[in-house]
Amino acid sequence: MDRKEIIERVRDAGVVGAGGAGFPTHVKLEARVEYVIANGAECEPLLRIDQQLMATQADKVIKGLELVMEATGAQKGYIALKEKYKPAIETLQARIQDPGSRIQLFILGDFYPAGDEQILVYEVLKRIVPEGGIPLQVGVVVDNVGTLINIAEAREGRPVTHRYLTISGAVGRPKSVKVPIGMSVGEVIRLAEPEIENFSILDGGPMMGKLIGDLDSPVMKTTTGLIVLPKDHQVIMNKTLEMRKILRRTMLCMQCTDCTELCPRYLIGHSLKPHKIMRHVGYEMRKELNDITAAFLCSECGLCNLYACPFGLSPLRVNQEIKKELTEAKVKNPHKEAPEEAHPMREYRRVPTARVISRIGVEEYDLAAPLEKREYRTNLVRIPLLQHVGVRSVPTVKLNEKVKVGDLIAEIPKGALGARIHASIEGKITDISDSITIEA
């Protein structure tokens, strides 16, 4: 396949970034770069699906990586994964034994957040992505392994209709499953048998995951895991604390600088210093814009929030609020420096994942979550029209219309950034609003 055809197939299949915000992948493939990195770090505690996919679908991961390299003109591809993912390493290594292969494994240590794409680029290539920038600026494209599998499927004409994800936490049977996009979160977590009644659910891992307030919320293309935790768990309490209380507590900051000294972005040379932001907010010195606007550089990894601060303060939540306020005031990120070198102590300040797990109190949930071979089905899906970076997709179906799995149900608006959406079950269209409902 030539470059143009690869990009068209990926666009037609509705592929978006499976491990992040959901950036439309066909747009990313239009770039020209030197390197492609397959992100298999899966650094969030309790998640298992990426390492399992590398172990069970290695051929598709490699094929997807080859297609991205072909489309972008990259001469070298890396599959970056942690040393502890032994089954994945063995399976992948057996398939790229050729010494002349343009693809090789890059073995990472077990630290958090190894999967942050800017951290990954530095680990693999020692290149520093500029402040507020993206890997493309240093000649790199990074794709999650789930995205690569979807790219390999797209080559065969199969659109994105299902999602692999991990269900873990306070459940009787932690597992990884394949479910239709649009299946309700409540129905999915019941597959793992929650052990408590008064629980909260996180979409993603405990560090960066977002709270899901409604069990009827749908699984989306970007859902990597569903974590069930007690409502009074420290992780949930931190994420639900009222902003007015968080801002009031900033006055307690003793300027120990721990949040800054462990900040992954600070350690690769960026000018983000969370302790200074806390000082300015705590003493109402927000006019010091150069320090305050550095909040734009925060990757929201959560280390300062759940790990570093000895007082349990929330630099992350403060940064999120500042970014929100600045965006509403139409203030743009002024930080565009391109650091030439990382902090000299960076290597010694990487936080081991095991210490993160212990600090946030999820050791009892750090269990195996075997990948089930079966594909789960449901009788009803609600598929959001916006589950990607960009604009809402435009419905191409009508009420009461019958559809099959893989049928196009929403198109990218002309000239806009977006992604196509396809039916994930066979049935009838019963509602078209912010989502499209299909009933079997």
DSSP 400-412: T-EE-TT-EEEEP
State the pLDDT at residue 359. Answer: 97
State whether 113 and 172 are in the same domain.
Answer: no
Q: Give me the mean pLDDT over the 219-244 stretch.
A: 96
Q: Does residue 336 share a domain with residue 251?
A: yes
**CATH number of the domain encompassing residue 201:** 3.10.20.600
Judge if 218 and 261 occupy the same domain: no
Query: What pLDDT is recorded for position 283?
Result: 76
Segments of 170-300 assigned E as strands = 175-180, 199-203, 210-212, 225-230
Is the model's pLDDT at 64 over the cut of 60?
Answer: yes
Has residue 138 got a pLDDT over 80? Answer: yes
Q: Which residues contact 156 (CB under 8 A, 6 or more apart)?
A: none
Length of the chain as a residue count: 440
Residue 440 lies in a domain: no
* CATH label of the domain that carries residue 247: 1.10.1060
Both 83 and 185 in a single domain?
A: no
- Containing structural domain, residue 315: 241-358
* Amino acid letter, residue 5: E
Asked if residue 69 is part of any domain, the answer here is yes
Does a structural domain hold residue 396? no
pLDDT at 29 over 60: yes
* Per-residue confidence (pLDDT) for residue 273, from 0 to 100: 95
The amino acid occupying position 403 is V
The pair of structure tokens assigned to 7 is 């990009």
Question: What is the per-residue pLDDT for 97?
Answer: 80
Cα dihedral value 54, 59, 62, 64, nearest 10: -100
Whole-number Å distance between alpha carbons of 43 and 259: 19
The span from the CA of 109 to the CA of 328, in Å, is 39
Same domain (yes/no): 267, 329: yes
pLDDT above 60: residue 233 = yes
Mean pLDDT, rounded, of the chain: 95
E strands present in 24-87: 35-40, 76-82
397: Cβ–Cβ under 8 A, 6 or more apart, which residues?
403, 407, 409, 410, 429, 432, 436
- Answer whether 271's CB lies under 8 Å from 338's CB: no
- State the Cα angle at 335 between 30 and 32, rounded to 5°: 15
Give CA separation, 437 vs 182, 295, 382, 385, 425, in Å.
8, 38, 4, 11, 10
Domain match, 108 and 50 both: yes
341, 365: one domain? no
pLDDT of 20 reads: 81
Q: Is residue 386 part of a domain?
A: no
Q: What is the pLDDT of residues 104-122, one digit of tens each?
A: 999 999 999 999 999 999 9
Does any domain span residue 423? no
Number of domains in the chain: 3
Please state whether the peptide bond connecting residue 395 to the residue before it is cis, i.e. omega within 30 degrees of 0. Answer: no
342-398 pLDDT, tens digit per residue, is 999 999 999 999 999 999 999 999 999 999 999 999 999 999 999 999 999 999 999
Spatial neighbors of 198 by CB under 8 A, at least 6 apart, are: 230, 231, 232
Tens of pLDDT, residues 272-310:
999 999 998 887 765 556 678 999 999 999 999 999 999
Residue 165 in this model has a pLDDT that exceeds 70: yes
DSSP secondary structure, 77-120, as one string: EEEEEETT-HHHHHHHHHH---TT-SEEEEEEPSEETTTSHHHH
Q: What is the pLDDT of residues 399-429, one digit of tens each?
A: 999 999 999 999 999 999 999 999 999 999 9
Is 52 part of any domain? yes
Where residue 140 sits, what CATH number does that domain have?
A: 3.40.50.11540
d(CA 122, CA 327): 28
Q: Say if 419 falls within a structural domain.
A: no
Q: Report the candidate in 320, 48, 46 with the shortest Cα–Cα distance to residue 201.
A: 46
Question: Are the CB atoms for 12 and 159 separated by under 8 Å?
Answer: yes
SS3 435: strand
- Confidence class for position 101, pLDDT limits 50, 70, 90: confident
SS3 call for 260: helix
pTM of the model: 0.95
Contacts of 374 by beta carbon, 8 Å cutoff, 6+ apart? 178
Say whether both 140 and 166 belong to one domain.
Answer: no
If asked whether residues 12 and 150 sit together in one domain, one would say: yes
Same domain as 59, residue 21? yes
Kindly report, residue by residue over 313-346, the tens digit of the pLDDT. 999 999 999 999 999 999 999 999 999 999 999 9
Domain finish residue from 137, 155, 173: 155
CA distance 192 to 205: 16
Same domain, 203 and 281: no
Q: Of 155, 185, 207, which marks where a domain is finished?
A: 155
Do 331 and 257 sit in the same domain of this protein?
A: yes
Strand ranges of the sheet holding 371-375, from the earlier edge strand across to the other edge: 210-212, 199-203, 225-230, 162-169, 175-180, 371-375
Whether 405 contacts 352, CB under 8 Å: no
Residue 1 tokens read as 């396949």
Domain closes at, from 297, 330, 358: 358
Q: Extract the tokens encoding 224.
A: 């990597």
In a domain, 296, yes or no: yes
The Cα–Cα gap between 281 and 248 comes to: 9
